Amino acid sequence: MPISAVSFGLCSLSVMAIPPLGGFFGKFMIFTGATEYGNPWILGIFLLAAILTLLYLVRLFYLVFLGEKQENMPKEGYSGMVLSGAVLALTCMLLGLFVYYPATYIQAISSNLGVFIR
């Protein structure tokens, strides 16, 4: 299942917050926010969760795609299923590469929210 393996691998790397994939910037903002507010407990919990996420996704990828060969090796799914995974992986890559545009939009919204909250 080479297409599924590559798609799952790219999505997993994004969830693990490997730059320049899309998931990196979300976790970066979480860590930055926890650091700015000076709360080491929250920062520690997020760091532990990030490490556990990395460990279980690496293990999952290894067991599913690199594990021992079996008699009935699964084949790629139907084309719609494989295509949706590939589109998701491509989206993770594009969001990481072009993060400037949504980040600018989010920053403009969040800076204007302060006006309404006060």
Domain count, the chain: 1
Name 18's Cβ contacts closer than 8 Å, sequence gap at least 6.
24
* Structure confidence at residue 4 as a pLDDT band (50, 70, 90): confident
Asked if residue 44 lies in contact with residue 55, where contact means CB atoms within 8 angstroms, the answer is no
User: In the predicted model, what is the mean pLDDT of residues 82-108?
Assistant: 75
Specify the pTM: 0.64
User: How confident is the model at residue 59, as a pLDDT?
Assistant: 92
What are the C-alpha distances in Å from 40 to residues 26, 45, 53? 19, 9, 20
C-beta neighbour count of 35 within 10 angstroms: 12
pLDDT (0 to 100) of residue 48: 93
Instruction: Give the range of the structural domain holding residue 13, as residue numbers without chain letter.
Output: 2-69+76-117
Q: What does the pLDDT look like over 23-82, one tens digit per residue?
A: 787 888 788 888 887 888 888 998 899 899 899 999 988 988 887 777 776 676 677 777
pLDDT for the residue numbered 118: 46
